[in-house]
Chain A
Amino acid sequence: MDNVIRVQTPGALLARGGIYAALIFMAVVYLAPLLVMLLTSVKTLEDIRAGNLLSLPREITFQPWLHAWSEACTGIRCEGIGGYVWNSVQIVVPAVVISTAIGALNGYALTKWRFKGQEWVFGMLLFGCFIPFQVILLPMAQTLGWLGLGSTTTGLVLVHVVYGIAFTTLFFRNYYVNVPDELIAAAKLDGAGFFRIFLRILLPVSTPIIVVTVIWQFTQVWNDFLFGVAYSSHETQPVTVALNNVVNSTTGVREYNVDMAAAMIAALPTLLVYVLAGKYFVRGLTAGSVKG
């Protein structure tokens, strides 16, 4: 039970009941689309035509999921979205690892090794957080072309790393600013250098903020559509683009159950990451200080 002493008059109880009713209603509204997706993805096409959106399936079938994974047509090919999930993984994993590592180093340098013009550097990085995707589409396409990275996985990783550094730096900077400077001074006196202090003193206390950054970057990169559609070829397309193609390129009968299954497959990794590490996410966002 929560440790609060409350007014127990009938009016107060009624008010509490009202609050709970409102909250439950909001939650249902919020969860309804997910429920519809899930229900539709395990229905047969006849089932979908017969009932309404929220009706329960008469028989549960996983055929749409299998179909979406390996047979659904994206444009002229009909190989499912499974291969594109793998494409996304190849983009997301390096992009998240590299941008998190650079962000951590940036945050460390900006807070613990003050240098002339550091505020200017941080200001410009912050500015980077507010640049909309659309603005950099053309210049980035040109840059990737010059680098010979157009339509490659490496190119997409680069775009996401560059775009992500602003956010990851901000996260780590705000976390490390609360780590006492005396800790760094002590390590300097003990004879440790720039990287040694980072690896031995700061990194071991950074778990919460690493988790926050990884979740954030994973979600951002995995869910990205615009960069994915602009800078990829058919071989390197991420799953978000493939999903769009599955839904848009159907000829003849619209297979809603397959569409929904494909959407669920595309969304599952981010959900999974949050379920596994969400506890740290909240903790990392709220707790900043290191006690020691």
Chain B
Amino acid sequence: MSALEIRNVRKDFGRTRVLREVSLSIDSGEFLILVGPSGCGKSTLMNAIAGLEPVTDGSILIGNEEVTWRTPAERDIAMVFQSYALYPSMTVRQNIAFGLEMRKVPKAEREATVERVAKLLQITPLLDRKPSQLSGGQRQRVAMGRAIARQPTVYLFDEPLSNLDAKLRVEMRTEIKKLHQTLGTTIVYVTHDQIEAMTLADRIAVMREGRLLQLGTPDEVYNDPVDMFVASFMGSPSMNFIPAQLVRDEHGISLAIGAASDPYRLPFPAARTTPDLDAWVGRRVVLGLRPEHISERTPWGEEDANTHPLTTEVTVAEPTGADILLRVRLGEDEVNARVSPKQNVTPGDRLPLQVDMARAVLFDPERETRIA
């Protein structure tokens, strides 16, 4: 059953088109993340789902019921806001119970729910405090408690972690994931943080300029992006875009990188070539390679048909602890590579590396769309 369905939703603010024909559907119990740069329309879409802003055209269904013109209160939803939006004059207990009170839930039941939710989120000792007496992380928990108390069909999270410090953000991220697993709730979650998107989502919807570019599992969005925008938005450091020429030689289709006189050649995996690719032979394309696909040489790399050696100069080395991020020369450009921290790297060194082409992608340099 689809918990939430959005059909051809458009939203205009005067002449500005904020949402252009967005359609998507979320299954019950699914965790959907809307990502995109600021101004892409993800928050507007969220507000449209919540009923806080009317849509210009299209319809919204929650639990198979048309709710496009219903007030927020009449939709079976709860929302966690970026600023938490806790009622400043009420205690934590009153904050959590307010929605139930407005829906005329009997007092005894309200109290039982508050206790249950507080226990689940470990905020029982805070129940009689005011929001101003809480830390950022505690407020975040209370905001989630307020949403959970009502047990709605759909939960909306509007950048809920963006006001927390880095360490707390990671903790709360895990907490939210755990909560989703225990409660089996349907969640729509807006963020601009691609790591949050990758770690939390069942499916990710990448948005740009009011359009839904790609809707897929984190794995699909990461490894199989529909265009250069999605490819560059997901992953950090982002995918390398390497200008190359598509050529055909005795091994099949290859990419020639660098000076035309002495190019570095990378064969494109035969299994991934499509008939459409023939039209691109002899033309300029953009090769997309993630930094982790350019790494130190490994024993398996020498045997793998899709892995090719590359010895090149290192210009910058940035150790992150878990691994080392490198800037290395490739053809006439510099690209990002990721090597094990065991490597002893000094800028200026020539380092033997390998390029794993198994997940390489090709883009049209003009339209920035995917070609293979």
Q: Is A291 engaged at the interface, CB distance under 8 Å to the other chain?
A: yes
Q: Beyond A191-B99, A192-B102, A204-B89, is A185–B132 a contact (Cβ under 8 Å)? A: no
Which B residues from 128 to 172 make CB contacts under 8 A with A? 131-132, 146, 150
Q: Given A292-B131, A292-B132, are A187 and B87 neighbors across the interface (CB < 8 Å)?
A: yes
- Give the contacting residue for B85; candidates A182, A192, A196, A200; CB below 8 A: A182
B72 within 8 A of A: yes
Decide: A185 and B89 in contact? CB cutoff 8 A.
Answer: no
With A185-B72, A188-B72: A205-B102 Cβ-Cβ less than 8 Å: no
Note all chain A residues with C-beta closer than 8 A to B89.
201, 204-205
A19 at the interface (CB under 8 A from B): no
Interface contact B72-A180, CB-CB below 8 Å: no
Q: Are A180's CB and B87's CB within 8 A?
A: no
Contact with A along B48-78 (1 / 0, CB 8 A): 0010100000000000000000011100011
Report which residue of B78, B79, B87, B132 has the largest number of chain A beta carbons within 10 angstroms of its beta carbon: B87
Residues of the A chain whose Cβ atoms lie less than 8 Å from the Cβ of B71: 188
Chain A CB within 10 Å, residue with most, of B73, B102, B146: B102
User: How many of chain A's residues have a CB under 8 angstroms from any CB in B?
Assistant: 20
- 179-225 of chain A: CB within 8 A of chain B: 180, 182-183, 185-193, 196, 200-201, 204-205
The answer on a CB contact under 8 Å between A185 and B87 is no
Given A182-B81, A186-B79, A205–B72 Cβ distance below 8 Å? no
Residues of chain A within 8 A of B79, CB atoms compared: 185-186, 189
Cβ-defined partner of B50 (8 Å) among A187, A189, A292: A189
Are A189 and B87 in contact, with the CB atoms below 8 A?
no
Q: Is B88 an interface residue (CB 8 A)?
A: yes
Best-surrounded residue of A180, A188, A189, A200 (most CB of chain B within 10 A)? A189
* Contact digits for A156-199, partner B, Cβ 8 Å, 1 yes 0 no: 00000000000000000000000010110111111111001000
Top 9 closest pairs, chain A to chain B, by CB: A292-B88, A204-B89, A191-B102, A190-B99, A182-B85, A186-B85, A191-B73, A182-B81, A188-B72
A188-B72, A190-B150, A191-B103 known; 13 other A-B pairs, CB under 8 Å?
Answer: A183-B87, A185-B72, A186-B146, A188-B71, A189-B52, A189-B77, A191-B102, A192-B98, A192-B102, A201-B89, A204-B88, A205-B88, A292-B132
12 examples of A-B residue contacts, CB within 8 angstroms: A183-B87, A185-B52, A188-B72, A189-B50, A189-B52, A190-B98, A190-B102, A191-B99, A193-B73, A201-B89, A204-B90, A205-B88
